[in-house]
Amino acid sequence: MSHSGRPADNSTPAASPAAGDAVSDARRALARTFKQAGIADYTFEARILIEDLAGSGEWLDATAANRLRDALSRRLAGEPLWRVLGAREFWGLSFSLSPGTLEPRPDSESLIEATLHHLGQRRQEAMNFLDLGTGTGCLLIASLSEFPQARGIGVDLSEDALATAAGNAISNGVSERAEFRLARWDEGLTGRFDLILSNPPYIASDDIARLDSGVREYDPLLALDGGPDGLDAYRALAALLPARLAAGGRAVLEIGAGQEDQVRALMTAAGLRYLQSHRDLGGHSRALVFAGVM
């Protein structure tokens, strides 16, 4: 969950994009300002803002200049880049963000990779998917994009997140196969599922204050706080997964750093079979895959 945080020096003079500026000059000015503010990926961030907000011409018009000034001000105040832009890519798809959702992170793509590894041979089957704590809907929607005959349900405790996920399902072309419900875990659900995905809250409560400010101040606490030891959500999942997994089904769970052994123990004690761990971009165990008893 590492991100550029608040600038170390809030007195840093800001570039001030204006109508009539060359787009190339505006990009360089943004990069200089971000560098002076201590933003690590200053060149990347300047390029992304220009690509998203400057339009397609060589010169800034008034609308583009206003957008860039607003984005610059928000970014220098510590708001994460993708929050400023209102969307982030995940698995090649674009996902709108809202206050009730986590940002989809590239490391979470390991859950989609794990899903394809374990269920890819069933790609054309009419399967049922469940995403517990759906947030933006990124895990469910990305999975449905890879399994064209599957249908899925995304569950969340946040009405804001559910509305955002429903919009993302529409924009990514899977809304006819996706349903979103306000519930705690599997409340009100019936039947079994061929794939159960979850990126649950897994940060220990006392560790929240030590998170990067871009995470701590902008990601919803509901999606971060995993209780005193960070494992509350996994205990809940262990209690429900055996009864919700269909024969031949798979549960794919995201975990935090150092949680693999504890989560494996919880799931196997509940009667699930551990199958594999999939690593993220940094080489850390990120997605654990389980199956029901045979």
Whether residue 34 is found in the same domain as residue 152? no
Check which CATH number belongs to the domain holding 120 and give it: 3.40.50.150
Whether residue 27 is found in the same domain as residue 161? no
Q: pLDDT at residue 78 above 90?
A: yes
pLDDT band at 294 (very low <50, low <70, confident <90, very high): low
Indicate whether 13 belongs to any domain: no
Indicate whether 10 belongs to any domain: no
Q: pLDDT at residue 293 above 90?
A: no
pLDDT band at 15 (very low <50, low <70, confident <90, very high): confident
**pTM for the complete prediction?**
0.92
pLDDT band at 113 (very low <50, low <70, confident <90, very high): very high
Rg (CA), the chain: 21
**Residues annotated in the binding site, as ranges?**
133-137, 156, 185, 199-202
Q: pLDDT at residue 195 above 50?
A: yes
Indicate whether 4 belongs to any domain: no
Whether residue 164 is found in the same domain as residue 59? no
Whether residue 68 is found in the same domain as residue 97? no
Q: pLDDT at residue 6 above 50?
A: no
Q: pLDDT at residue 9 above 50?
A: no
**Residues annotated in the binding site for substrate, as ranges?**
199-202
Domain that holds residue 33: 23-83
Whether residue 186 is found in the same domain as residue 105? yes
Indicate whether 9 belongs to any domain: no
Indicate whether 284 belongs to any domain: yes
The arithmetic mean of pLDDT across residues 23-27, rounded, is 95
Q: Name the token pair of 243.
A: 């009864």
Whether residue 218 is found in the same domain as residue 104? yes
Domain total of the chain: 2
**Residues annotated in the binding site for S-adenosyl-L-methionine, as ranges?**
133-137, 156, 185, 199
Going 175 to 179 to 185 to 189, the CA torsion angle's sign is: negative
Whether residue 137 is found in the same domain as residue 42? no
Q: Which of 53, 83, 113 is the last residue of a domain?
A: 83
Whether residue 191 is found in the same domain as residue 147? yes
